[in-house]
Amino acid sequence: MPAKPLLATLQGVRQEVPPVWLMRQAGRYLPEYRALRAEKGGFLALVNDSAAAAEITLQPIRRFGMDGAILFSDILMVPLALGQDLWFETGEGPRLAPKLVAREVLDGLAPNMAALDPVYGTVRRVKAVLDPAVTFLGFAGSPWTVATYMIAGQGSREQAEARRLAYADSGLMQALVDKITECTIVYLQGQIDAGVEAIQLFDSWAGSLSPAQFEQWVIAPNARIAAAFRGKVPVIGFPKGAGGKLAAYARETGVDAIGLDETVDPAWANAELPEDLPVQGNLDPLALIAGGSTLDSAIDRILAAFAGRPHVFNLGHGIQQDTPIDRVEHLLRRIRG
């Protein structure tokens, strides 16, 4: 086995036993996380407390022995750095103000890149103590997904406000996406300088776009980001909901690996994606909760589909907060034999 199985896989080396990490593995399904959050306060307070965020990043590594540690932070750190106010409403999620609905609002933002310093502090703390065999993953939200929050001021299932703006004022949308892209490149470079070894681009709302908009608002900015880090660290692209547009995303963005959500048939993905491209995924988080034969058959189907290519085992989206610990332990035993 290579010294860092996950990093080697992202670099195109197939492993007999695929490396494993889980999206949102550092978080609220873990009792140790809930205890620390109760002690420290709200989510944003944890993100901005480098010592606490480093501890949370390391918790699933200690408990499960994951092959990758994912930085504990949030995709909305970029809007905060660009000048929007960010806070979290209990039980309702993030809020951003002012909403970006006009050119003068965008032009009036006062960027504060120092807002990202606590994240870099977290990376340095984790890097100093992380097991050398574990790959350290940084991340950022992809520009389209970040833009949907900045425009609506919160998350939304249909992303209607952002999609309307993209049709009604493509110049404003392009200016916003360009600002997010530039800030994201600076942000990710800061994470790399502090110690991360690979990065993931989360495009949680990529599936809401038409093919033409997908090319403009998902593929184009992600290609710029991937190009900025080519030859530096592997880049995992995760365009959730992209479906049949995944092959175009893989070809045109130039990412080093593709994350697949749970709606993608792994056999189809294996046939349609470039032959040697590493893939990541794509167990349904609810199958993990179900356990038993449902879980085993889903794991086995994914392993069989990707047996011939570099594969990182992961979920198709973030782990649910009501996931039993013993299901994760069983998952790891099943994959590792």
3-state class (DSSP) for residue 226: helix
pTM: 0.97
3-state class (DSSP) for residue 79: helix
CATH number for the segment(s) 5-336: 3.20.20.210
Query: Where along the chain do its domains lie?
Result: 5-336
Rg over CA atoms, the chain? 19
Q: Strands of 198-203's sheet, edge to edge?
A: 68-70, 135-141, 198-203, 235-239, 257-259, 279-283, 311-315
Q: Determine how many CB atoms are found less than 10 A away from the CB of residue 263.
A: 14
pLDDT tens digit at each of 337 positions of the chain: 679 999 999 999 999 999 999 999 999 999 999 999 999 888 999 999 999 999 999 999 999 999 999 999 999 999 999 999 999 987 778 999 999 999 999 999 999 999 999 999 999 999 999 999 999 999 999 999 999 999 999 988 789 999 999 999 999 999 999 999 999 999 999 999 999 999 999 999 999 899 999 999 999 999 999 999 999 999 999 999 999 999 999 999 999 999 999 999 999 999 999 999 999 999 999 999 999 999 999 999 999 999 999 999 999 999 999 999 999 999 999 999 8
CA 132-8-66 angle, 5° bins: 50
Q: Which residues pair with 94 in a beta bridge?
A: 88
Q: Which residues are catalytic?
A: 24, 28, 37, 74, 149
